[in-house]
Amino acid sequence: MPDIALYQPDIPQNTGTILRLAACMGVRVHLIEPAGFPVSDSALKRAGMDYLERAALMRHMSFADFETWRAAQGLRLLLMTTKSAAPYTEFSFQANDILLMGRESSGVPESVHDLANARLTIPMAEGMRSLNVAVSTGMVLGEALRQTGTFPKSQC
């Protein structure tokens, strides 16, 4: 099942929302530091409520550390970016993908763009710049889970 990676997130509330999403969908989140807020259990608990304990969170002290880990695992890196013409809705996801979400304030540097196996965007109405990172993550993760057949089994 796909993982989520957050590149140096700025906003703890977005990180908490994404951790809650990940806990509910049973996916792992990679937090690539440094973050723009203190990364402590108490700060993340305030943002992610009681879902933090259920979230699979893996912290990486730098992008270089994350990239070393990812390369050793042989996982594809899919960058969600506004600097792409390839819509995520036309992409074929695999269970071993990592969905990389850029920093809210500045995205990711060109060096990270260059390392991505694919750069994908969310189609939007003319003149609109971007969506909230947590909303974007939910949209793309939903499609990746649908395509790979890895949605959690319903308890109903």
Q: Write out the residue range of the structural domain in which residue 38 sits.
A: 3-148
**Mean of pLDDT values over 27-55:** 78
Q: How confident is the model at residue 53 (pLDDT cuts 50, 70, 90)?
A: confident
Q: Average pLDDT in the 16-36 region? A: 93
Residue reference for tokens 């890196």:
77
Q: Give the pLDDT band of residue 120 (cuts 50, 70, 90).
A: very high
In a domain, 153, yes or no: no
Kindly state whether residue 13 falls inside one of the protein's structural domains: yes
Q: What is the mean pLDDT of residues 76-80?
A: 98
The residue-averaged pLDDT of 113-121 equals: 97
Binding-site sequence positions: 80, 102, 122, 130
**Overall number of domains in the chain:** 1
Helix (H) or strand (E) holding 31: strand 28-32
Q: What is the CATH number of the domain that holds 17?
A: 3.40.1280.10
Residue 155 counted as domain residue = no
The answer to whether residue 15 sits within a structural domain is yes
In a domain, 154, yes or no: no
The binding site for S-adenosyl-L-methionine comprises: 80, 102, 122, 130
CA-to-CA distance for 102 and 7, rounded, in angstroms?
A: 5
Q: Is residue 71 part of a domain?
A: yes
pLDDT average, residue stretch 65-92: 96
The DSSP 8-state label assigned to residue 151 in this structure reads: P
- pLDDT tens profile 90-109: 999 999 999 999 999 999 99
Are 15 and 47 contacting, i.e. CB atoms less than 8 angstroms apart? yes
